[in-house]
């Protein structure tokens, strides 16, 4: 039961109990005040006839004024009207006997007082005295908001400069239509405060009326016209004309709140986002761009100085990416992929390859069915590959395919390199024609036929029966201890420490399972390798990855100088140890250790 209904119920219950205990012969809520008994005054200031002074003189009642500036319950109030015209005022009261309202009083104003609209908010809403300004619903493409409407909790007061948004959906999420976005409202101060609302989304009507902006209370009131809104929600509120709350108002943006109180769902706040039409018409929209590392073109050229073979990752070959190149899902292992997509199966796509040679810009595609396609490519300064042959497409996972975009392009979204500057893997994307996103493919560099393909990897054997796991240092971290001169693995290590000689990079692929997190756990944790060689030079942490729970992950460490031997060789998942509910259920394996 909502608060309003509960208050009414409690009040009625109190009346029933009072009636039962006293048992009067007759019961009455109280005497109804006659309209003739209402005492009040509505007068113009003698020195400033544009200032209307309201005063309730009826004792023991709560006044309710209806004015061109909106409603008021003040015993004494002032309404300031800048322009000449005929203006209606109504006085009403709420008493024990009920609500009574006086006849409408019309005040004729013949003078102008522009000081009442000489305010930055009036100017930003209308363009200023003698001007007009048109506003449209924000479709989320002008760099200001995510869409035309927010939602806010009714328990939170929505006021100027202090409001909280509970749900910030895109336009499509709230069912905004092209007709909604075609709606316009124009506020002007040409001879008066006028509002013209063109609503193709609500019967293709044009409403013409007047408005008042209360710069002190930050409210907006309208007469004979209402603000534009999504047509679907128009029936859900009663107060479209009065006490519209203004939350933000700048030169280019307007945001107002309307209380939803006229449908079967819970009462809530609608918060509408508008943008000035002039700003929208002149807005230069630019898509976000992937941010590639400095010198990426030289990195690519150096890596493919003769030939490199690109293969799809066996762990996470597919994702979707935002326009800035960031992954939407961040899947790291086959187990991470959802049921609606399916699990990657390297046996189905593993024979695909894309072989590129930078010396002659030749490319050779080999699809999983063995079909070979030869051609050439070019790479522009934005990281977009263009091909003179059609890039072959094939099924990658279930219904998702490897394919170029509609222009036969693939764009570099992310690059990972080793200490020598050679690319180890990269994400390339096909731009979606119907949504601001890329279908992203994870390519891993293989050794090719030339001599400048980067360092060869050497796999080091590891005995998983000798892996130590747990919150070993009691710092709240989950540690996978491969070798530690000061730990339990020193006496009987699972790795031949003499094999740990490298100069470029070491990769560790590991799998963890049995992770059950406590209620309120973070759920996402930074993980990295810590490595120190035999004389502690070099030593340090490698690249940080994100671990979300059970799955297979790879961490890397690129030392600043040659490594010979080891003192400490561990993987730490920071903070996860403290959040695991049952450490005894956790298992882990080191799947691969590769040095370069």
Show me where the domains of the chain are located: 27-111, 119-281, 296-446, 458-595
Instruction: Identify the weakest region by mean pLDDT among 21-30, 42-51, 88-97, 370-379.
Output: 21-30
pLDDT value at 79 more than 80: yes
DSSP state, 272? E
DSSP state, 46? S
Mean pLDDT of the chain: 88
Q: What is the pLDDT of residue 307?
A: 67
Residue range 458-595, CATH number: 2.60.120
Instruction: Identify the weakest region by mean pLDDT among 99-103, 239-243, 439-443, 473-477.
Output: 239-243
Q: What is the pLDDT of residue 191?
A: 86
In percent, the amount of the chain with pLDDT more than 70 equals 91
pLDDT band of residue 304 (cuts 50, 70, 90) is very low
Task: Render pLDDT for 556-585 as a digit per residue (tens, 0 to 9).
Answer: 898 888 899 999 999 999 999 999 999 999
pLDDT value at 110 more than 50: yes
Distances in Å between the Cα of 487 and the Cα atoms of 77, 286, 506, 563 are: 79, 54, 21, 21
The helix/strand/coil state of 277 is helix
Instruction: Identify the weakest region by mean pLDDT among 121-125, 399-403, 415-419.
Output: 415-419
pLDDT value at 437 more than 70: yes
Average pLDDT over residues 274-288: 90
The more confidently predicted of residues 26 and 501 is 501
Residue 203 neighbours by CB under 8 Å, 6+ apart = none
Task: Render pLDDT for 227-276 as a digit per residue (tens, 0 to 9).
Answer: 999 999 999 998 898 879 999 999 999 999 999 998 888 888 999 999 99
- C-alpha span between 376 and 357 (Å, rounded): 9
CA atoms within 13 A on the CB side of 566: 25
Q: What is the pLDDT of residue 452?
A: 36
Average pLDDT over residues 121-145: 94
Token pair in block for residue 387 = 């091909």
Average pLDDT over residues 459-463: 94
CATH architecture label of 27-111: Sandwich (2.60)
Q: What is the pLDDT of residue 419?
A: 59
Residue range 119-281, CATH number: 2.40.128
pLDDT band of residue 454 (cuts 50, 70, 90) is very low
Q: What is the pLDDT of residue 306?
A: 55
Task: Render pLDDT for 169-191 as a digit per residue (tens, 0 to 9).
Answer: 888 888 899 999 999 999 999 98
Average pLDDT over residues 28-40: 80
Q: What is the pLDDT of residue 456?
A: 55
Give 59-66's long-range contacts (Cβ < 8 A, gap of 24+): 60/95, 61/33, 61/93, 61/94, 61/95, 62/93, 62/94, 62/95, 63/91, 63/92, 63/93, 64/91, 64/92, 64/93, 64/94, 64/99, 65/89, 65/90, 65/91, 65/92, 66/90, 66/92
Q: What is the pLDDT of residue 226?
A: 96
Instruction: Identify the weakest region by mean pLDDT among 58-62, 345-349, 420-424.
Output: 420-424
The helix/strand/coil state of 27 is coil
CA atoms within 13 A on the CB side of 337: 18
Residue 557: asked if its preceding bond is cis (omega within 30°), the reply is no
pLDDT band of residue 544 (cuts 50, 70, 90) is confident
CB 385 within 8 A of CB 431: no
Average pLDDT over residues 382-408: 96
Same fold: 119-281 with 458-595: no
pLDDT band of residue 126 (cuts 50, 70, 90) is very high
Q: What is the largest CA-CA distance in the chain?
A: 110
- Tell whether the torsion through CA atoms of 219, 221, 225 and 231 is positive or negative: positive
Average pLDDT over residues 425-440: 91
H-helix or E-strand containing 11? Answer: helix 3-22
Average pLDDT over residues 110-123: 93
- Tell whether the torsion through CA atoms of 137, 138, 141 and 146 is positive or negative: negative
């Amino acid at each position: 039961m909502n608060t309003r209904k509960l208050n009414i119920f409690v009040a009625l219950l109190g009346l029933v109990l009072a009636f039962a205990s006293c048992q009067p012969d007759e019961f009455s809520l109280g005497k109804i005040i006659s309209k003739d008994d209402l005492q009040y005054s509505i007068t113009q200031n003698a020195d400033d006839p544009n200032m209307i002074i309201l005063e309730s003189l009826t004792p023991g009642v709560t006044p309710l004024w209806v004015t061109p500036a909106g409603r008021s319950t003040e015993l004494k109030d002032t309404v300031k009207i800048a322009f000449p015209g005929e203006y209606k005022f109504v006085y009403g009261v709420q008493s024990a006997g009920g609500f009574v309202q006086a006849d409408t009083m019309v005040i004729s104003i013949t003078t102008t007082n522009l000081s009442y609209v000489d305010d930055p908010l009036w100017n930003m809403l209308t363009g200023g005295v003698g001007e007009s300004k048109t506003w449209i619903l924000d479709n989320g493409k002008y760099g200001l908001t995510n869409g035309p409407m927010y939602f806010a909790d009714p328990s939170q007061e929505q006021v100027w400069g202090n409001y909280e948004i509970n749900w910030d959906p895109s336009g499509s999420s709230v069912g905004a239509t092209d007709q909604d976005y075609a709606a316009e409202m124009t506020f002007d101060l040409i001879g008066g405060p006028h509002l013209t609302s063109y609503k193709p989304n609500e019967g293709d009507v044009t409403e013409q009326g007047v408005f008042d902006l209360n710069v002190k209370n930050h409210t907006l009131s309208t007469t004979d016209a209402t603000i534009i809104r999504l047509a679907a929600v128009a029936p859900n509120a009663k107060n479209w004309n009065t006490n519209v709350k203004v939350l933000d108002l700048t030169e280019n943006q307007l945001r107002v709140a309307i209380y939803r109180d006229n449908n079967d769902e819970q009462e809530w706040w609608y918060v509408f986002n508008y943008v000035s039409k002039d700003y929208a018409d002149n807005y230069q929209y630019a898509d976000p761009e992937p941010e590639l590392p400095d010198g990426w073109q030289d990195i690519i050229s150096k890596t493919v100085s003769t030939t490199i073979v690109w293969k799809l990752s066996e762990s996470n070959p597919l994702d979707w990416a935002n326009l800035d190149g960031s992954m939407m899902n961040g899947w790291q292992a086959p187990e991470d992929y959802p049921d609606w997509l399916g699990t990657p199966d390297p046996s189905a796509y593993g024979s695909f390859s894309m072989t590129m040679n930078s010396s002659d810009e030749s490319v050779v595609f080999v699809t999983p069915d063995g079909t070979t396609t030869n051609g050439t490519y070019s790479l522009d300064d934005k990281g977009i590959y263009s091909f003179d042959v059609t890039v072959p497409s094939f099924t990658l996972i279930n219904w998702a395919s490897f394919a170029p975009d509609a222009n036969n392009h693939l764009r570099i979204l992310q690059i990972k390199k080793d200490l020598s500057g050679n690319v180890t893997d990269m994400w390339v994307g096909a731009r979606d024609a119907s949504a601001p996103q890329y279908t992203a493919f994870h390519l891993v560099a293989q050794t090719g036929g030339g001599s400048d393909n980067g360092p060869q990897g050497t796999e080091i054997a590891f005995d998983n029966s000798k892996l130590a796991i747990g919150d070993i240092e009691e710092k709240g971290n989950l540690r996978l201890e491969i070798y530690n001169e000061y730990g339990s693995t020193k006496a009987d290590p699972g790795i031949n420490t003499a094999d740990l000689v490298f100069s470029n990079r070491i990769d560790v692929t590991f799998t963890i399972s049995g992770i059950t997190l406590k209620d309120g756990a973070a759920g996402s944790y930074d993980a990295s390798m810590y490595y120190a060689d035999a004389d502690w030079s070099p030593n340090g942490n490698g690249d940080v990855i994100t671990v979300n729970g059970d799955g297979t992950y790879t961490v890397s460490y690129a030392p600043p100088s040659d490594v010979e031997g080891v003192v400490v060789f561990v993987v730490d998942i920071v903070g996860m140890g403290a959040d695991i509910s049952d450490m005894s259920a956790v298992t882990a394996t080191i799947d691969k250790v590769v040095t370069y």
